[in-house]
Structure 1
Amino acid sequence: MKIKILFFLLISVVGFSQKKKINEEYDYINNYYQLVYQAQYEYLKEDYQKAYDLLKTAEKNCPLLKQMEINEPAVLAECAMRLNKPEEAVHYIEILVRDYGANFEGFKNSPLYKDIQNTRYWRKLERKAKKYHEAYLKQVNLDLRNEILKMKEEDQSVRINRDYEGLKRVDSINYLKLRKIVADCDCFPDEMFPQFGNYTIDDKFFSAVIFVYHINSEDAEYWKPIFLDLIRRGRAPAEIYGTLIDSNLRSNGVYLYGIYSNIGKDLIDDFENLDKRRIAVGLPPWQLEKDIHELIKKKYGI
């Protein structure tokens, strides 16, 4: 009888600890983003050890994200490969294929991974790749993806055609749709969430950040706490809060978060505390962001 009771208690404790882990709240603002931005900088400078160490620390703190401009799993895969950790490199490639719908053939054709394609762990992933992709596609809500793509198309159409009456109508409709999508999905529409799909679905660039630029100052009050909470939980692109605020300051010409690349220090209010504000909402320090963009231009010619 005592053995049965002890067994029951053990199972209960294990179950409770697993449940706690599953439901645990992660704080990406304080424990993830800044490590990842610094890792991106080191990666672009080709210091793969520093980039790897920073990303591994970030991953220990919070589940890994796949942000569009950074692509954390891909950077970790490359760093691991260059640091002679091929099995770990395959682990991160598997995450990209399984969780984010990445095309396995792209990795297979990469010269970086040619020398490990006869290993058992690579062959194992190759056997699973097709099933992973099929499972990923089943998660994609094509109706939702197409709705958001249509929203973007209409958003741009009325602006390109300078249809000011149509603009008011489209922005109003899109605003209500965006509210419903975010509430239903508990995230901001982005490729890092499988229900929205990625470019491999239809070769179309997918991002809903453009709608944030068109939220007026009155409606911004509704979104501020929602955006900040989503960013903190890793459920939204980190730039949306700063974008929301600064896009509504365009008429003033003086900004709070410095999200526009073509403005100088003189157009940022309280510049001395700019980085404190940026870090508090998940953005990288101002100069670090500029340095990263310069390195991207140099590395990729973009």
Structure 2
Amino acid sequence: NTVQRQTKLAKVGFSTEITCSIDFLDRNYFVIWYKNGKYLFEHEPRMSLNLSRDGRIYTRNEQEDIALLRIQNVSVRDAGEYHCKAVHTSVGKPMFHYWKINVQDGPILSPIRSVRENETFSAQCCVTFTYSTEPVKYLWSIGNPLTTTFSDNFGGNLTCSNVSFTAVRAFHNKLVVCTVENELNSSTHERINLMLPPTMKLQINGHDTNATAVLANGTHVNITCYAIDSTTKAYISWNCNEKTCPSEGSLSNDMHEKLNNATREFFTADSTINYTAMQNEDVICTAGIYGDRNWTKSVKISVF
């Protein structure tokens, strides 16, 4: 009798198929499938060429003398030892073809939390096999390749890779991609929610101001604070010598959203106070952002 043995790597959620080549001179033979020694299905010579049973499709290609078992949606339960047995109806020895299906679950990338600019954070990517396999090579990228990590199977079925990097502005809204390099070459990804701080700017009567402004006593001016292009909404507050700034008239506090291809990308806030110069003091605008972070811009008012 003819015996063939092969191993197949399949992935959870995808399809896979195994074949059984038959070498009889005519087509009067049965094809019987087994899993882990238990009977699955018998394909008689005159049965329909395509039959479905329990999520598996059994096919006979009589022109090429091939029987095929196709699993549509692989799960961990589909791992195991399969074999087909071809038996002629009258003459010849049975033929056997043995397959071992090793099921891969993953790669699975751990969720990546929101991260601030210049913060260092880590990502972990893992893959599980129903049977031990060769060492896995992981490839990481965020647009460009990151450090490649080799990892063994630790004597079992789970293997993981970790990578750490410092978030920079260019990573905003990019994908961290983890690829497991083997015969399946599977990959997965997570989007980086990189929280960018605003660019702070102060203007007096529409003109950019430096760290100091010299004003005559009693001068009325509009001081405007801008918190520009942050990835989180900011609300601006004012402080004069560590107290709430007195203002005449209205206080504006406006938020603007910059849209990119109909997707909210960045926010800009601005606020204006009507200020009267009465004494030397520090005028500070604060943009509250991230819930626990504040960003400030100040001007020192000198009165003469």
TM-score bracket, shorter-length normalisation: under 0.3
With the length of structure 2 as denominator, give the TM-score of the two structures: 0.21
Greater fraction strand = 2
With the length of structure 1 as denominator, give the TM-score of the two structures: 0.21
> Quick check: which has more Rg, 1 or 2?
2
Greater fraction helix = 1
